[in-house]
Amino acid sequence: MEIFVQQLINGLTLGSIYGLIAIGYTMVFGIIGMVNFAHGDVFMLSAFIALIFFVILTTWLGISSVVLALFIVLLIAMALTSLWGWTVERIAYRPLRGSFRLAPLISAIGVSIFLSNFVQVAQGARNKPTPPMVGEVIVLFQGESGYNVALSYKQIIIMVSTAVLLSIFWYIVQKTSLGRAQRACEQDRKMAALLGINVDRTISLTFVIGAALAAVAGTMYLLYYGVVSFSDGFVPGVKAFTAAVLGGIGSLPGAVLGGLIIGLIETFWSAYFSIEYKDVAAFSILAIVLIFMPSGILGRPEVEKV
Amino acid sequence: MNAPSITTSSARSPAVPTRFDLAAALKDSAKSALIAFGLSIPIVAYRTDQSGADLFLNPRWDMVAIFCAIVFGLRLAQHAFMASRAAREAVPSPTQATELVHAEPSAFQKASRFGIPFFLGVALAFPILIYLIQGGLNESRYWVDLGILILTYVMLGWGLNIVVGLAGLLDLGYVAFYAVGAYSYALLSTTFGLSFWICLPLAGILAAFWGIVLGFPVLRLRGDYLAIVTLAFGEIIRLVLINWVDLTNGGAGISSIPRATFFGIPFTAGEGGFADTFGLEFNGMHRMIFLYYLILALALLTNFVTMRLRKLPVGRAWEALREDEIACRSLGINTTNTKLTAFAIGAMFGGFAGSFFAVRQGFISPESFNFLESAIILAIVVMGGMGSQIGVAIAAIVLVGGPEVLRNLTFLQAVFGSGFDPNEYRLLLFGAGMVAMMVWRPRGLISERQPSVILKERKAISGSLVKEGHG
């Protein structure tokens, strides 16, 4: 029972990170119908940006309050990662509108390889550990066998900031004119353009929002694991994509739901079955969902038009 | 810049000024450099180095300056190029309107008539040429080894070309079949003592079998989903190879895999060895040269089979499927079976290449079969022009051989410092190259479509005239 509650907490934390990344996949797929393969690497890049600014703030500028430092780091990482997201879309995806169907995916694979190796060349191939951050835990209750169920401050920070940012983002998509333009482009790009929506700008902003949320996930990932390396984008990226597909690609609540489910499956699988095969489990779920349930939990079934 | 253009891929408007506007170009280039500056903070500007448990930052603003300068220069050059092209296009050439109809053989095609026999001749004579140039068997070891490496990638590229180039199925897990072939040979030879020549077909059959097993459930999926699922399968196979320690010895890999023999005659120094049988002086290079011709033969076999298959109904169905899946279905082609044959045959050649890899290395571990390897093979196929055999070969030579050659150019080390290793930048360039290829020439370096059925004379069809449909 104690293990179950503990794994539930861990799984929800991990799941909220996956959910944040999955939104980037699902929005881009919704609006231009491509799998943004490079999104996982944008996430990794943001973790590096966060790491470097965290070191700058704590050691050079001497900010002693970790929470304040984290908040500033989060804002800077979001801004700079958004710039990366915008540039990637501008250089690698925008010229390909109207090209053959697999072209954007191949281009995205190229961007993914480029980004991870760019970080490797610029930052070195070794794992980069962070200085220790927020180590305190709250012991929720103590089991009979002395197993403490603990909720760490880290996990609280991760879940709270995920929830806050998701609601801000939800507000943007549902209530602002940008969100309306975005949903219009999702439904019919040509019609939206005829009605005076700047489609290219809307698509760029979609990438910017996706990258900003990936930056939140990157910062949280860094806070949670305390270590990042140039190859860390691939597996979380695939898992987040799995989450997006599981929740129904194109659906925003679906992405968050899928992220939480994937996070829970991963932690429970590690706890009760085998930790070695946890990635195999995630990849198998991806294959199974795509084969048997391609429209996901909350997605609309796709209609193929000739 | 933000003009609402949906269908046009480039932002060329009819009102492009024919005169090169230097001030605007400079302004735009400066803007690009500013963006580059933003991108390089902090990832280029501060390198994180570790000393003990602490991280400290190593400022490198000089790198940022170089990076921004490069972006500025490139953007300015691009503006100049665009302006000159716009000026040229403002005056239509008299032949322009009829250009596409009278498809004259392109310069490439004229060259390729002599190019293909030339390439083949060089490939066949390569060990001899190197022997003559380097003046000795032992001196030519490095070059023959490089030749083997390049030919392995040529073969993998040709194998994947069946799946990606001909059938139009994006396979991101091709390396899984390479792994199946390699592990088949390694396990069969170390546990049952079977020879390479028995294991080679078995490895191909096993890989084809896995291709069918993995392909059957997923080939109904649309193109990009299929790509992701093949990626997942590739990763699953690699993770199973790492974790199933009883069978595969896990991450430690399988070592002391038996060497290839010259049709039963081992390449050993003693009595009954290759050198002894043919009355030569023993040299380890005999085995290398044999391996070179072995992989050349395997690669040519792949090419030959592919070229013949293209002329069979199944090959034509593959290409039709690539162009328009829905039309194929309405013409009564069984799309699942057609895709499955492409997948299985591609996998079979991957398996052959894998067992060759195992016999050449004598040691395999799951780390040789990661996603990056799949991506490199895919990059070779994409850059060579999907579907073009000679293009794939050229791309393999450039992408695999290029960095090796660069590494040996000592003047580069003098320019960039002694620690300069082009291999470090190899994947960076692969990634950038894949993007550039999709932006500028989405059909690859060699984009002509060679029709497999012709009436009277062979005409070149530009790849840009062929619309690729769904799937």
User: Domain segments of chain B: what residues?
Assistant: 22-87, 108-465
**pLDDT at position B452:** 60
* Residue B144 C-alpha, separation from nearest chain A C-alpha, in angstroms: 29
The reply to whether residue B224 touches residue A35, judged by beta carbons under 8 angstroms, is: yes
Tens of pLDDT, residue by residue over B30-66, are: 888 888 888 888 888 888 877 766 777 888 888 888 8
**pLDDT at position B223:** 74
Which tokens sit at B451? Answer: 């029709």
Q: Which among B9, B220, B223 has CB closest to A96?
A: B9
Domain that holds residue A10: 2-231
Query: Helix or strand or coil: residue B217?
Result: helix
Report if residue A302 sits inside a domain: no
The answer, yes or no, to whether residue B167 has pLDDT greater than 70, is: yes
The reply to whether residue B224 touches residue A95, judged by beta carbons under 8 angstroms, is: no
CA angle B454, B455, B457 (to 5 degrees): 80
**pLDDT at position B25:** 85
CA angle B438, B443, B448 (to 5 degrees): 160
Are B7 and A98 spatial neighbours (Cβ–Cβ below 8 Å)?
yes
Integer-rounded Cα radius of gyration of chain A: 19
Element (H, E) at A89: none
- Residue pointed to by tokens 């961007």: A111
Per-window interface: B 268-327 vs A, CB < 8 A: 326
* Residue A100 C-alpha, separation from nearest chain B C-alpha, in angstroms: 6
A155-164, B119-128, B437-446: segment of lowest average pLDDT: B437-446
Q: Which among A52, A113, A291 has CB closest to B375?
A: A113
Residue A140 dihedral angles phi and psi, to the nearest 5° = -75, -55
Mean pLDDT in residue range B15-20: 55
How many domains does chain A contain in total? Answer: 1
Taking phi over 0 as left and psi of -120 to 50 as alpha, with beta for the rest, B221 belongs to beta
Beta bridge partners of A128: A228
* Residue A142 C-alpha, separation from nearest chain B C-alpha, in angstroms: 33
Beta bridge partners of A150: A139
Chain A residues touching B468 at Cβ < 8 A = 100-102
Element (H, E) at A105: helix A103-123
Q: With CA atoms as reference, report the closest residue to B115 among B397, B349, B306.
A: B397
Please give the Cα distance from B101 to A37 (Å, whole number): 39
Residue B468 — pLDDT band, cuts 50, 70, 90?
very low
Report if residue A120 sits inside a domain: yes
- In DSSP notation, B402-415 reads HHHHHHH-HHHHHH
pLDDT less than 50: residues of chain A: none
Report if residue A165 sits inside a domain: yes
Q: Which among B6, B228, B431 has CB closest to A35?
A: B228
Mean pLDDT of chain B: 80
Residue B461 — pLDDT band, cuts 50, 70, 90?
low
The answer, yes or no, to whether residue B215 has pLDDT greater than 80, is: yes
The answer, yes or no, to whether residue B7 has pLDDT greater than 50, is: no
Chain B touched by A227 (CB under 8 Å): no
Tens of pLDDT, residue by residue over A176-220, are: 888 889 888 888 888 889 998 999 999 999 999 999 999 999 999
Q: What is the pTM of this model?
A: 0.85
The reply to whether residue B239 touches residue A277, judged by beta carbons under 8 angstroms, is: yes
Report if residue A288 sits inside a domain: no
Which tokens sit at B45? Answer: 């500007």
| Residue A300 vs residue B203, higher pLDDT | B203
Chain B touched by A303 (CB under 8 Å): no
Residue B10 — pLDDT band, cuts 50, 70, 90?
very low
Architecture of domain B108-465: Orthogonal Bundle (1.10)
Report if residue A81 sits inside a domain: yes
**pLDDT at position B413:** 65
Which tokens sit at B379? Answer: 């990059």
Residue B48 dihedral angles phi and psi, to the nearest 5° = -85, 120
- Residue pointed to by tokens 């500033």: A72
Per-window interface: A 135-174 vs B, CB < 8 A: none
Are A27 and A101 spatial neighbours (Cβ–Cβ below 8 Å)?
no
Residue B458 — pLDDT band, cuts 50, 70, 90?
low
Residue B455 — pLDDT band, cuts 50, 70, 90?
low
Tens of pLDDT, residue by residue over B266-324, are: 777 777 777 777 777 777 788 888 899 999 999 999 999 998 998 899 988 998 888 88
